[in-house]
């Protein structure tokens, strides 16, 4: 059974359509006016081996905030929908990702309870945390992001997106020993 979802979100500020296939090959088809985040989502698809089709527009004449935050929301909704009851998955994943002078650590638990820890050393007005907060709240997962060292904003964000993709790739993977069981003693993850 395909683990994919299509989510559309239309507000007065943004218009986003996203298709996510969790069992893809890392293909990204992106039409997105915020170039830096188009790059981040492309590498997220590549490193997570997720296929992502994203078409979006927003009030970027104001700034990129609404578009970036809403994209995190839509990606989170798509992940949540594609996972369904989350049967047979590994549930948790982590990655320590080196990128030149930058080292990012990301851990994820698809346990159904949204929580974000974001310690990246980025300026308060950077949009990276807003993206991940929207994602976490709508994907129903716990995500811990730490940048242990790094020089610039670009490399810090890029290492985060790569590490998050790798951690999520591990967490959503089918566990052959689990069969179709829900990986929780509660019997439910959502």
The pLDDT of residue 24 is 97
DSSP 174: B
Quote the domain boundaries for residue 45.
Answer: 4-172
Lowest mean pLDDT among 9-23, 137-151, 173-187: 173-187
The pLDDT of residue 64 is 96
For the four alpha carbons of 175, 178, 179 and 183, in that order, the dihedral sign comes to negative
Element (H, E) at 160: helix 153-172
pLDDT band at residue 188 under the 50/70/90 scheme: confident
What average pLDDT does range 112-127 have in this prediction?
A: 96
The pLDDT of residue 185 is 76
Kindly state whether residue 29 falls inside one of the protein's structural domains.
yes
Tell the burial category of 180 from Cβ atoms under 10 Å away from its Cβ (0-12, 13-18, 19+): exposed
More confident residue, 189 or 146: 146
pLDDT tens across 41-100, in order? 999 999 999 999 999 999 999 999 999 999 999 999 999 999 999 999 999 999 999 999
20, 45 in Cβ contact below 8 A? no
- Write down the mean pLDDT value for the chain: 96
DSSP 130: H
In angstroms, the CA 170 to CA 90 distance is 7
Kindly state whether residue 182 falls inside one of the protein's structural domains.
no
Kindly state whether residue 177 falls inside one of the protein's structural domains.
no
* CATH number for position 40: 3.30.230.40
Kindly state whether residue 150 falls inside one of the protein's structural domains.
yes
Give the DSSP per-residue string, 24-80. S-S-EEEE-S-HHHHHHHHHHHHHHT-EEEEEEEE-TTT-SHHHHHHHHHHHHHHHH
Structural domains in the chain (count): 1
Tell the burial category of 11 from Cβ atoms under 10 Å away from its Cβ (0-12, 13-18, 19+): exposed
At which residue do the structure tokens 């990129």 appear? 64
The pLDDT of residue 189 is 74
Kindly state whether residue 136 falls inside one of the protein's structural domains.
yes
Angle between helices 128-139 and 65-83 (to 10 degrees): 30
Kindly state whether residue 157 falls inside one of the protein's structural domains.
yes
- Supply the pTM of this predicted model: 0.96
96, 22 in Cβ contact below 8 A? no
pLDDT tens across 150-176, in order? 999 999 999 999 999 999 999 999 999
Kindly state whether residue 189 falls inside one of the protein's structural domains.
no
Percentage above 90 pLDDT, the chain: 91
Q: Is the pLDDT of residue 39 over 90?
A: yes
């Amino acid at each position: 059974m395909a683990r994919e979802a299509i989510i559309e979100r239309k507000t007065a500020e943004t218009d986003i359509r996203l298709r996510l296939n969790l069992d893809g090959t890392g293909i990204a088809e992106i039409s997105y006016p915020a170039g830096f985040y188009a790059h981040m989502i492309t590498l997220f698809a590549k490193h997570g081996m997720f296929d992502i089709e994203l078409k979006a527009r927003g009030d970027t004449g104001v700034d990129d905030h609404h578009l970036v935050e809403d994209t995190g929301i839509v990606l989170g909704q798509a992940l949540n929908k594609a996972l369904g009851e989350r049967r047979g998955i590994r549930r948790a994943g982590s990655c320590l990702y080196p990128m030149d002078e930058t080292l990012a650590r990301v851990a994820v638990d698809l346990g159904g309870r949204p929580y974000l820890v974001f310690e990246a050393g980025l300026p308060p007005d950077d949009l990276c945390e807003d993206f991940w907060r929207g994602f976490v709240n709508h994907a129903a997962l716990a995500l811990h992001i730490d940048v242990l060292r790094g020089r610039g904003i670009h490399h810090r964000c890029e290492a985060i997106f790569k590490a998050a993709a790798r951690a999520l790739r591990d967490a959503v993977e089918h566990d052959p020993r689990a069969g179709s069981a829900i990986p929780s003693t509660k019997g439910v993850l959502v």
